[in-house]
Structure 1
């Protein structure tokens, strides 16, 4: 009986945590796909994708295309690094 209760609690905890992880995974998949497309022609692709994903996570959008179109996402457009230059590729 005790094993059944432990197994039930473990299964319940697993189901509960999986329901919380699904929305976070969906958001990161969106950002990954959009940033891979945006950075496909970048010279330093890994760096471009890294900063794009940071911006996407905060702004929840990525402009279309590989360059420009930042008017589509004002938050993405307006983020600056510590030197005052655009943070998002």
Structure 2
């Protein structure tokens, strides 16, 4: 890495997901293992003091807001942080 910023884009495959759904109300593809790897990577970047921006669209897993919540939970877990109840 050579810069002060990491920019991650979780975009997915439009054709793949649109063959499964045409509505974007829930995740329809389990990207859990990939997201765990991204969460670990983002924690490593945080530990190095590198700011990270993550962009997620609906085509990644089916519902971007749910994917963001899931990635946040995985990130906190990887960072060893217990989320508030």
Q: Which of the two has greater strand per residue?
A: 2
TM-score range, shorter chain: under 0.3
Larger radius of gyration: 1
Q: How high is the TM-score relative to the length of structure 1? A: 0.21
Q: Which of the two has greater helix per residue?
A: 1
Which is bigger in relative contact order (C-alpha 8 A, separation at least 6)?
Answer: 2
Q: How high is the TM-score relative to the length of structure 2? A: 0.22
